[in-house]
Structure 1
Amino acid sequence: MAKIVISAQIDLEPAQRDDALRSAQPWIDGALSQPGCIHYDWSADLNNPSRVNVFEEWESEDALAAHFAGPQYAGMLAHIGRSGLTNAVSKKYRVDAEGPVYGAEGKPTEKFG
């Protein structure tokens, strides 16, 4: 099975962004505790005072489907809705290959394998 990566940009009222990030910790921790969740992170975009960047990595489509069907996802949606949501864009990617950014000689490479 292929891993799934999600990248999202959530725009909130700038005055609410920092509080929204701080108070999101239970939803972040909840997602991280779910089977198949490899990575789940929200961070402030330092170039845009309203934006929260979200990065998720899931072991499989089944793990992501369970997340979408569960209380952690519903709670996160409600949390964002109470935080001055103005816009959101999210995309998911099925990963067919992965590898290190730096090769054996310590130089970055765009190649896989």
Structure 2
Amino acid sequence: MLIIAGHLIVDAADRDRYVADCLPVVQAARVAGGCLDFSLTADSLDPARINIYEQWESDAELAAFRGSGPDTDTASRILSAEVHKYRISATEPP
């Protein structure tokens, strides 16, 4: 399993519109093969921050969904990003 987690920083005045504009991406991911979870959410403390959380069954399924990445307009709105991929070898109940 893979987890993609981190955050984006966008202009605070654009954050809520950015999250709304990403709704089709979230919807597409959640029905994509291998997607276990996918969310882009407005941070509750930082008005410029968007939190990212994704779970995928494999690299191949993640790559198939990602394609070429965000379009030019979406990418140009990101001021900075800190997102990492984590490989999970086992899970257990809390």
TM-score, normalisation: structure 2: 0.89
**Larger strand fraction of residues:** 2
Residue identity over aligned pairs, in percent, reads 28
Equivalent of 2:74, from 80, 86, 90? 80
More contact order relative to length (CA 8 Å, sep ≥ 6): 2
Q: Distance in 2 between matches of 1:24 and 1:7?
A: 16
Gaps of 5+ in 2: none
Partner residue in 2 for 1:110: none
Greater Rg by CA = 1
Q: Report deviation, 1:66.
A: 1.1
Gaps of 5+ in 1: 102-113
Q: Report deviation, 1:16.
A: 0.2
TM-score, normalisation: structure 1: 0.75
Partner residue in 2 for 1:89: 82
Give the root-mean-square deviation of aligned CA atoms: 1.5
Matches within 5 A, 1:25-44: 25-44=23-42
Q: Report deviation, 1:65.
A: 1.8
Give CA deviations for 1:58-82 in whole Å, capped at 9, x if unaligned: 011111121222xxx63xx125325
Q: Distance in 2 between matches of 1:65 and 1:13?
A: 28
Give CA deviations for 1:68-113 in whole Å, capped at 9, x if unaligned: 22xxx63xx125325x321011100110111222xxxxxxxxxxxx
Q: Report deviation, 1:47.
A: 1.7
